[in-house]
Amino acid sequence: MGSITRSFANNIGSSGILSASAVTNATVEDVTSFSSAASPAATLVLISTQTASSSATISFTTGLDSTYDEYIFKFINIHPATDNAELQFNFSTDGGSNYNVTKTTTFFLAQHDEADTYTSLEYGASRDLAQSTGNQFISVGVGNDNDQNVNGSLTLFNPSSTTYVKHYISTTNSSQGSDYSVNSYSAGYGNTTNAINAIQFKFNTGNIDDGIIKLYGVKKS
């Protein structure tokens, strides 16, 4: 019986559980190789990537279908051409011909300025919707200084359902035009039982000067 085998055998309790002393530097250093472990399946599957370049809008008109029950959009270094612009979105049920899905939503935000003179946590009543087809805000006052931008994500659940309304949750953080960090939270639902098959992102003023939006599908269990 080798030393590693004896070490394990001497440290197995009556219930079959190894004691902490069963594995030591001495036992591990004698192991010459480990069997390779299978890599876990990726949870997120990248569907598409779009890069803005002085773009009025970024629209995803393919990739939202019944393949996945959950889709995640990632916003990376989204930089506005206009100071204090606010990122927003809208859904489509006709492949992007119209972005006008009726929505009921909530919006709140936390903010803190660089000078450490102001903080707040507040509900943003002016940025929520109640049975409106308008665009939904998901960020506040993004600055257009060279180093300012907005980053975050939006998750859309089961957009191809023809039974249920379509819920979403969004979280972003922006470097605001007056040098605030603003963490914005929005959630709600597209009040339609038609399948949502397209989504459009834009600023409420000016173009998307630069940035990347990635669309991922979440693998079904």
Residue 40, both tokens: 């876990």
What is the average pLDDT score of the chain? 90
Sequence spans of domains, the chain = 1-35, 45-218
CA–CA gap between residue 191 and residue 206 (Å, rounded): 28
pLDDT of residue 81: 98
CB 99 within 8 A of CB 92: yes
CA–CA gap between residue 50 and residue 43 (Å, rounded): 21
Alpha-helical regions (H) of the chain: 3-10, 25-29
Q: Which residues pair with 167 in a beta bridge?
A: 189
The domain over range 45-218 is classified in CATH as 3.40.50 = no
pLDDT tens string 61-77: 999 999 999 999 999 99
pLDDT tens string 71-100: 999 999 999 999 999 999 999 999 999 999
CB 171 within 8 A of CB 152: yes
Q: Indicate whether this model's pTM tops 0.75.
A: yes
Q: Amino acid letter at 144?
A: N
pLDDT tens string 148-158: 999 999 999 99
pLDDT classification of 178: cutoffs 50, 70, 90: very high
Rg (CA), the chain: 24
